[in-house]
Every structure is written in C-alpha cells, then in structure tokens.
Structure 1
C-alpha cells in the first residue's frame, strides 16, 4: 500500500480491491492505526473507509477486538447478483432501445481487448470485466449509476475473482460480453437481456462447490430452500 495522503474514498477503493482479490483474506485484522501509517494519513479517512466496507459486508467490527475481513457470504452473493441483474438488464435494454454512443462502444471494445490480453491473470481480467460493464452503465443518461452497482456487487465480485480462471473459462465470459454488445448494437433488447442473464448466471454453476472446497474463505449461509 502506498504511503501518501489518501482520501477516505481512495482508501476504501484500495482496501476493497485487496479484499476482493484476496490479498486481504477472510479473518485478516484491519487496524486503524496501522492503516493510517501505511497510507500516511490520519485515522479519520481510514475510519470512513472501514465504515463503507462494513456497509458492503466486506468487514465486521467485533467489540473490543477490532475490524476483520469477513468470509464470502453466499447469501450476500445471491442478493448482489439479484440487484445487479435487475439494474444491468435495465441498462442493456435502454441501450438497445436508444443506442450506444460511439464513446461507449469504443470503451466496451477496449475492455474486451484488455480481457483477451489478460493471459489468465485473474486481477487484470477482473479489472477489464468491470470496465466493460462500467462502459455500458455510464453510457446511460442516469447520474451515479455505476457507483450504485459497484457498491451492491461486492460479494459477487469476490466469488467471481475466486472462480478465475480455472472454474470459469475466461473465453466463455468474453464471448458472453460479445453477445451482450452485439445484441445492443443490433437494437435487440430481448436478446441483450437474455445474454446478460446468461452471463450473470455463470457464477451460480460453481458457488456451492467453491464453498465446499474453501470453507475458510466462504460461508454457505443461504439456508434451506433459498434460491438465486
């Protein structure tokens, strides 16, 4: 982590990235004093960042003990996927109906190229994956839509990262992105919606197996009879 003044927002971004990519594993303790020293700042922006991480379910605060990175919650992942699908279906449908701007198209294509060049590096692929979805979200004329999506999808992102590249073939994910983009460009809202649904359902194929294999990282808290 860098040693220079950071805002609470950027400290949150760095810590969120480290948690999602498992640089900070479940159970890791986050000390306000240590983080303030690492970032070269006071405890106030660190505390603000930790509050946001707690709201996203990425850390928990234990009285008299401190703040700790949580295990990945399958219930949280399912909830995040539900919210994300509802929002992103509305996005692709709107873009198919109103058209994708040249800038949005160029950004989506650039993200696809970066995905294909990631060469199996999960972190690089994940950043490019986010860039694709962000390009679409920010092309819709609704302010602050992407930050809402990003806040809601934290648990989804952790499962997604853990599944790459061995559990979920990256070539398949790229092809699914291509399908989504092509449907938008063809002004086929129904196909864009279906392509997005298929894409966001991919993670469901491997979640329970990942949970069984990684109990130290994932808690299967979905309960009997719950569904995605």
Structure 2
C-alpha cells in the first residue's frame, strides 16, 4: 500500500514538475488540491505531498487558506542555478576532454542535428530536451551522473528562462552556433577555448535577461513581488 501511494505521489509530482518547467503551467498560475486531484483522478494527499516537494524546489509557493501558486521566475535564483551549472559543467568538460571517443563526439553531432530539426519545426519542448541531452553527454561519458542530477534538480528557474529564450529565434539560433563551436574545439583538443565557449554559453542568460524580461515581464518576480495575494507571502509561509 505504501509503495502504491509513493508511486502515485511520484507520478503527480513528476507531472506537475514537467508542466511547470515547460511552461504549460505559467508562472503565477494558482492551483488547488481539489482541481488537480479531480483532473488526475487521485486523492488530495499525493497532490498535497507534490505541492510540498515543489515548494522545496522553489517552483511553487504554498499560502495557507489561499492556494498554491506557481512561482514566478526569480532572477536571483536563476543566477545561483547558472553558477552551479557553470562550475560543474566546466569541471566535467576537463575530464571529458581526456576520455572522449569518436563515439561520444558522434553523439554530440547527432544530437545537434536533432536540435536544429526541432528548432526548424518550432518544437521548443523537444529543442530544450535535446539541448539538455547535449550537455548531459559529457556527464554520461565521465560517469558523473550524480552531478548531472544535482543540476537537473536545482535548475527550475534557469530552465524556464532558457525555454523562453528558445521562443526567440535570434537567441535560439545562437545556441546552435555555440554548440557547434564547442564541438569543434573539443575535436581540436583545445580545452581552454572549449571552456571559454562553454562559459559564454552558460552566461548568455545574463546578457539576454533584459530582452526577455521586457518581452515577458508577467513571468518574472519583481523586487516587490512578495505581495502576490494582497498580503506578505513570505510572512504567511513563515507562519505556516
């Protein structure tokens, strides 16, 4: 019984998590246990547990007596998630340069073709999926899967802003170009140039954030955005 309950809870959490990071559930969306349990045909308990897990991920805020809201993208959190990713990816890249094979390079090139195809078809979710798989290759090849899991589990805000940039053609095309440059430098065994390209690639969010915020301001947390429900959100959370 406990295993069945856990599997249901995991499924609810996984579904909600995916819908939040792929922007099916937009930032600021208010959710209720009742509606989601009815829609997913489960009891309220696994939904409540999923909300708690998502709040720990920083993807929702739970306000007693008022509801659960999908968190808006917090640029301070984006910066921390970006920093974590840069440190781990650059470290793994150095290891990858020492153990790469023709097969691993082939995987990267094949993946890049899939990215291009998804972008041409405007299948942005698929594009992001292939983008993540591209970066994951270096972790797989160096047996650093735990490090990749840390990145995946702590990148909900960073991932969402990356998805938004994928909607903007000039930015997404640049992503493809940077991935190609990275492959070229890896093939050349030029670690320093490859690391420089990777850092620029990961840091490009800093350059793009003003353009993205100007186009989609409703998705981002403002400095004074603690007042989502007409009272102090964080005060309510602390008093829970």
Task: Please give the range of the TM-score, normalised by the shorter of the 2 chains.
Answer: 0.7 to 0.9
For residues 75 and 108 of structure 1, do their structure 2 counterparts lie closer, same or farther at Cα, with a shift above 3 Å needed? same
Q: Which has the higher helix share?
A: 2
| 1:154 alignment partner in structure 2 | 156
Contact kept in structure 2, 1:92 and 1:184, CA below 8 Å = no
| 2:189 alignment partner in structure 1 | 187
For residues 37 and 88 of structure 1, do their structure 2 counterparts lie closer, same or farther at Cα, with a shift above 3 Å needed? same
RMSD: 2.4
| 1:111 alignment partner in structure 2 | 111
Deviations 1:7-49 (A, max 9, x none): 4344333322222232111221222333233333344443343
Secondary structure in structure 2 of the residue aligned to 1:67: strand
2:180 to 165, 178, 181: 178
Contact kept in structure 2, 1:73 and 1:221, CA below 8 Å = no
| 2:232 alignment partner in structure 1 | none
Number of residue pairs aligned between Structure 1 and Structure 2:
217
Structure 2 residue runs of 5 or longer lacking an equivalent are 1-5, 225-240
Structure 1 residue runs of 5 or longer lacking an equivalent are 223-228
1:24 paired to 2:53: no
Cα distance in structure 1, aligned partners of 2:208 and 2:214: 10
Length-normalised TM-score, structure 2: 0.80
Cα distance in structure 1, aligned partners of 2:41 and 2:182: 43
Contact kept in structure 1, 2:114 and 2:130, CA below 8 Å = yes
| 1:14 alignment partner in structure 2 | 15
1:124 to 117, 123, 126: 126
Secondary structure in structure 1 of the residue aligned to 2:68: strand
Cα distance in structure 2, aligned partners of 1:70 and 1:83: 20
Displacement of 1:192 in angstroms is 1.9
